[in-house]
Amino acid sequence: MTLQQWRKKGYKDSPYVMLASRNGNTFAYLTPEELPYEFLNKTGNDYDYRKYGKQIRLIKRMVNDNVPKVVKTFRFTAK
Protein backbone atom coordinates (compact mmCIF):
# COMPACT_ATOMS: atom_id res chain seq x y z
CA MET A 1 0.00 0.00 0.00
CA THR A 2 1.36 3.40 -0.92
CA LEU A 3 1.09 6.51 1.21
CA GLN A 4 -1.62 7.78 -1.14
CA GLN A 5 -3.62 4.53 -0.75
CA TRP A 6 -3.09 4.74 3.03
CA ARG A 7 -4.72 8.17 3.06
CA LYS A 8 -7.55 7.18 0.69
CA LYS A 9 -8.49 4.23 2.91
CA GLY A 10 -8.81 6.61 5.87
CA TYR A 11 -5.78 5.51 7.85
CA LYS A 12 -4.46 9.08 7.96
CA ASP A 13 -6.94 9.84 10.74
CA SER A 14 -6.58 6.48 12.48
CA PRO A 15 -4.48 5.73 15.56
CA TYR A 16 -2.03 3.83 13.32
CA VAL A 17 1.13 5.75 12.43
CA MET A 18 2.69 4.86 9.10
CA LEU A 19 6.41 4.21 9.14
CA ALA A 20 7.14 3.21 5.55
CA SER A 21 5.84 1.48 2.47
CA ARG A 22 8.21 -0.91 0.70
CA ASN A 23 7.57 -3.49 -2.01
CA GLY A 24 3.81 -3.40 -1.48
CA ASN A 25 4.10 -3.79 2.29
CA THR A 26 3.09 -1.05 4.68
CA PHE A 27 4.71 -0.74 8.07
CA ALA A 28 2.89 1.08 10.83
CA TYR A 29 2.74 1.14 14.60
CA LEU A 30 0.06 1.59 17.18
CA THR A 31 0.48 2.63 20.79
CA PRO A 32 -2.03 1.72 23.50
CA GLU A 33 -4.76 4.31 23.99
CA GLU A 34 -5.71 3.19 27.49
CA LEU A 35 -3.75 2.10 30.53
CA PRO A 36 -3.97 -1.55 31.58
CA TYR A 37 -7.12 -2.45 33.53
CA GLU A 38 -4.91 -3.59 36.42
CA PHE A 39 -4.42 0.08 37.30
CA LEU A 40 -8.14 0.68 37.87
CA ASN A 41 -9.39 1.40 41.38
CA LYS A 42 -11.72 -0.99 43.20
CA THR A 43 -14.83 0.55 41.64
CA GLY A 44 -13.36 0.19 38.15
CA ASN A 45 -14.42 3.74 37.25
CA ASP A 46 -11.03 5.44 37.34
CA TYR A 47 -7.35 4.70 37.67
CA ASP A 48 -5.85 4.33 41.13
CA TYR A 49 -3.32 7.16 40.90
CA ARG A 50 -2.55 6.96 44.61
CA LYS A 51 -1.48 3.32 44.38
CA TYR A 52 -0.11 3.22 40.81
CA GLY A 53 0.83 6.86 40.16
CA LYS A 54 4.52 6.17 39.57
CA GLN A 55 3.81 3.30 37.17
CA ILE A 56 1.14 5.31 35.33
CA ARG A 57 3.51 8.25 34.83
CA LEU A 58 6.21 5.87 33.59
CA ILE A 59 3.92 4.19 31.06
CA LYS A 60 2.57 7.52 29.83
CA ARG A 61 6.10 8.84 29.35
CA MET A 62 7.16 5.69 27.51
CA VAL A 63 4.15 5.79 25.17
CA ASN A 64 4.04 9.55 24.57
CA ASP A 65 7.74 10.46 24.60
CA ASN A 66 9.94 7.40 24.18
CA VAL A 67 8.06 5.45 21.50
CA PRO A 68 8.11 8.32 18.96
CA LYS A 69 11.85 8.79 19.57
CA VAL A 70 12.57 5.09 19.12
CA VAL A 71 10.43 4.85 15.99
CA LYS A 72 12.43 7.67 14.38
CA THR A 73 15.50 5.44 14.57
CA PHE A 74 13.92 2.74 12.35
CA ARG A 75 15.35 2.49 8.86
CA PHE A 76 13.81 0.58 5.97
CA THR A 77 16.13 -0.24 3.14
CA ALA A 78 15.14 -1.10 -0.40
CA LYS A 79 16.31 -4.40 -1.88
Residues whose CB is less than 8 angstroms from the CB of residue 71 and which lie 6 or more positions away in sequence, other chains included: 17, 19, 29
Residue 79 has pLDDT above 70, yes or no: no
DSSP annotation of 53: H
pTM of the model as a whole: 0.72
Residue 59 has pLDDT above 90, yes or no: yes
| Domain residue extents for the chain | 3-71
State mean pLDDT over 58-66: 94
Q: Would you state the pLDDT for residue 5?
A: 86
Residue 27 to residues 30, 35, 63, Cα–Cα distance (Å) = 10, 24, 18
For the stretch 12-54, pLDDT in tens is 888 999 888 888 888 899 999 899 999 999 999 999 999 999 9
